């Protein structure tokens, strides 16, 4: 297992699209068909409403830019809700805190963007991810039977999970114009 210190989390760049797509195919979408191929991942990386991060070998600077991609996360931002679309860590690098570090980046970005809640779904039988998200403060909301469909017509249920960051509704304004009666 790579020690956590030797991993750098950074924003994904277009040249990471292929590595991310292969990880999605192998570690998330296996048996379901491959939706997040390199061109779709590329669109997500370029999309202004999507945040994509990768976990790389090496410590910092130029070395990090060349390091192998060992994990990634993609999150789509709405007005008040964000959707954590994909998150995976290479099996050789799991249980080293990398998933947690990428998710913390996402959570911090969501807080800064005024997001009220983060939503995700995962395959109902994915016990490792369920435990991971529970440990990260998410809770289960609903089980959706037959949510995932493979090319061969196989269906699989999805478990929806949620993490609340703040009470929904408009954010209190940080600045108010002075009123006459305040003088
Ligand atoms: C789920 C996943 C991303 C976790 O990544 P990770 O880097 O191994 O997770 P972390 O090391 O940051 O784990 C943080 C905490 O989550 C919990 N956790 C993570 N994996 C767990 C597992 N397999 N079993 C039980 N708890 C687990 C633990 O509490 C862990 O803390 P600890 O190691 O100190 O006990 C990883 O297993 C993975 O890539 N799975 C395949 C892809 C996937 O299912 N993605 C989610 C759906 S999109």
Does residue 42 lie in a domain region?
Answer: yes
- The parent domain of residue 50 ranges over 4-169
- The Cα 89–Cα 145 span in angstroms is 26
> Ligand 1 centroid vs 182 CA: distance in angstroms?
53
Cite the beta strand spans of the chain per DSSP E.
7-11, 50-57, 69-77, 81-89, 117-123, 139-149, 155-164
Q: Residues enclosing ligand 1, CB less than 6 A?
A: 27-28, 86-89, 94-100, 122, 126, 128-129, 131-132, 135
Angle value at C-alpha 118, between 141 and 58, nearest 5 degrees: 125
**pLDDT of res. 140:** 97
Q: Residue 174 pairs with which residues in a beta bridge?
A: none
pTM attached to this predicted model: 0.90
Does residue 177 lie in a domain region?
Answer: no
Low-confidence ranges of the chain (pLDDT < 70): 1-5, 59-66, 151, 172, 174-175, 182-183
**CA torsion, ordered 169, 111, 96, 157, to nearest 10 deg:** 30
Based on the structure, what is the number of domains in the chain? 1
Determine which residue's CA is closest to atom 4 belonging to ligand 1.
99
């Amino acid at each position: 297992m790579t020690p956590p210190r030797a991993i750098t989390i950074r924003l994904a760049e277009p040249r990471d699209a292929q590595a991310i797509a292969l990880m999605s195919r192998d570690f998330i979408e296996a048996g379901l068909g491959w939706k997040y191929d390199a061109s779709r991942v590329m669109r997500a990386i370029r999309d202004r409403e999507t945040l994509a991060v990768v976990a790389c070998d090496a410590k910092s600077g130029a070395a990090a830019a060349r390091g192998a991609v060992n994990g990634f996360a993609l999150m789509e931002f709405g007005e008040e809700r964000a959707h954590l679309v994909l998150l995976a860590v290479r099996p050789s690098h799991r249980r080293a805190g990398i998933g947690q570090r990428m998710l913390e980046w996402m959570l911090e970005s969501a807080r800064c963007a005024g997001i009220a809640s983060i939503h995700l779904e995962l395959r109902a039988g994915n016990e490792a991810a369920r435990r991971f998200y529970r440990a990260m403060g998410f809770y289960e909301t609903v089980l959706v039977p037959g949510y995932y469909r493979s090319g061969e017509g196989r269906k699989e249920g999805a478990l929806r999970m949620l993490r609340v960051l703040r009470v929904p509704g408009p954010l209190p304004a940080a600045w108010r114009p002075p009123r006459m009666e305040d003088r």
